[in-house]
Structure 1
Amino acid sequence: MSRIDYLNDPNAPAANSVVPSVTVAIRDGAGRILLIHKIDNDLWALPGGGHDAGERITDTAVREVREETGLDVEIVRLVGTYTDPNHVMAYDDGEVRQQFSLCFEGRWTGGQPREDGTETKAVRWVNPAEIDNLNIHPSMRLRISHALDSARTAPYLG
C-alpha cells in the first residue's frame, strides 16, 4: 500500500485515525546508524511500524526491527515522542493517520541486516555524514538527529 506524507501542508487531507507507532535508532560499533529504504513511500527511514494490541510498546519496537531488518535488538532508551498534528500520512485505502510515534534507541544483539522485500527494499548502515545525501522525510530527519545527539539527556517531547 502506498502512502504520501504531508507536513505543515494546508492542503493535506484531514486525519481520520491515530495509530501508535515506533521507530528505532540502532548504531553499529563504527558509529553508523541503520536505515531502511521503504517500499511504501520510497524514502529512507529508521526501522519501525505500528503497535499491535496485546504488545508492550518496546515489544513492538523489537518486533518491527526484526521483521524489517533481520536484526535482534534490545531497547535502551526513549529518544522522543513525535505527535505533530500537522504531520499526516495518507494511504491509498483512504486512511489518513495523524503522526503518533515513539522513537527508541536500540542496541544490536544479533542477526544480520537484510531487506524483507515487503516493507523494505534496502537496509544499510549509514555514516552520519552521509545522511544529508539521502531522501528522508523531515520528520524522520528530526528523529535521526535526536538519536545521534549524544549530548541530549532527556527525550524529545513534541
Structure 2
Amino acid sequence: MARTEFYNDPDAPEPNSLVVAASAVVTDESGRVLLQRRQDNDLWALPGGGMDMGDSLPGCAVREVKEETGLDVEITGLVGTYTDPEHVIAYSDGEVRRQFNICFTARIVGGTLTISDESTELRFVAPGQLGTLAMHHTQRLRIQHYLERRSAPYLG
C-alpha cells in the first residue's frame, strides 16, 4: 500500500482517522541511529507504527522495532510527543491519517538485524550523515530533538 505524507499543505486531504503510534530512536555502540527505508514511500524513517489494542505505548515501540528490524530493544527514555495537526498521511486504500506519535529512546538487548516487508533497507547512520538521506520533515524533527539531548521531552 502506497503512502503520501503531507505537512502544512493546503492541498492535503482531510483526515478520516486518528492513529496512536510509537517510534523509537535506537542507536548502536557508536551512537549511530537505526533507520529503515520504508517500502511504502521510499523515505528513511525511525522504526515505529500504530498501537494495537493490547499494547502500552512503550510496548508498541518495542513490538514495532522487533517487527521492522528484527532487534529486541528496551525503552530507555522519551524523546517527545508529536501531534501536529498539519501532518497528514494518506494511504492508497483511502485512509487519511492524523497521527499521534510518541517517540522513545531504546537500546538493543538482542535479536538480529533483519529487513521486514515494510522496508527495503536498514542502516545505522552517523549523525553527520543524516542530512544526506531522503526523510520526511517529521522524522527529521524527532531525530533532531534526540540529538539535542534535551533536558525535557518535546511536547508538540
2:14 equivalent in structure 1? 14
Q: Distance in 2 between matches of 1:136 and 1:60?
A: 22
Structure 2 residue 128 is matched with structure 1 residue 154: no
Kept after mapping to 2: 8 A contact 1:113/1:124: no
1:28 equivalent in structure 2? 28
Name whichever structure is richer in strand by fraction.
2
CA deviation profile, 1:77-127 (whole Å, cap 9, x unmatched): 1110000101000001111001210000001111222211x1011111101
1:119 equivalent in structure 2? 118
Q: Distance in 1 between matches of 2:123 and 2:148?
A: 20
1:54 equivalent in structure 2? 54
Pairing 1:37-48 to 2, within 5 Å after superposition: 37-48=37-48
TM-score, normalised relative to structure 2: 0.98
1:83 equivalent in structure 2? 83
TM-score, normalised relative to structure 1: 0.96
CA deviation profile, 1:30-64 (whole Å, cap 9, x unmatched): 11010001001110000001000011111111010
- In the alignment of these two chains, the number of paired residues is 156
Moved over 6 A (4+): none
Q: Distance in 1 between matches of 2:112 and 2:33?
A: 14
Q: Distance in 1 between matches of 2:141 and 2:38?
A: 17
SS of the counterpart of 1:102? strand
2:100 equivalent in structure 1? 100
Give the aligned residue type for 2:45. Answer: A
Identity of aligned residues (%): 54
Structure 1 residue 66: deviation in Å? 0.4
Kept after mapping to 2: 8 A contact 1:3/1:40: yes
Structure 1 residue 148: deviation in Å? 1.7
Which consecutive residues of structure 2, in runs of 5 or more, have no partner in the other structure? none
SS of the counterpart of 1:20? strand
Which consecutive residues of structure 1, in runs of 5 or more, have no partner in the other structure? none
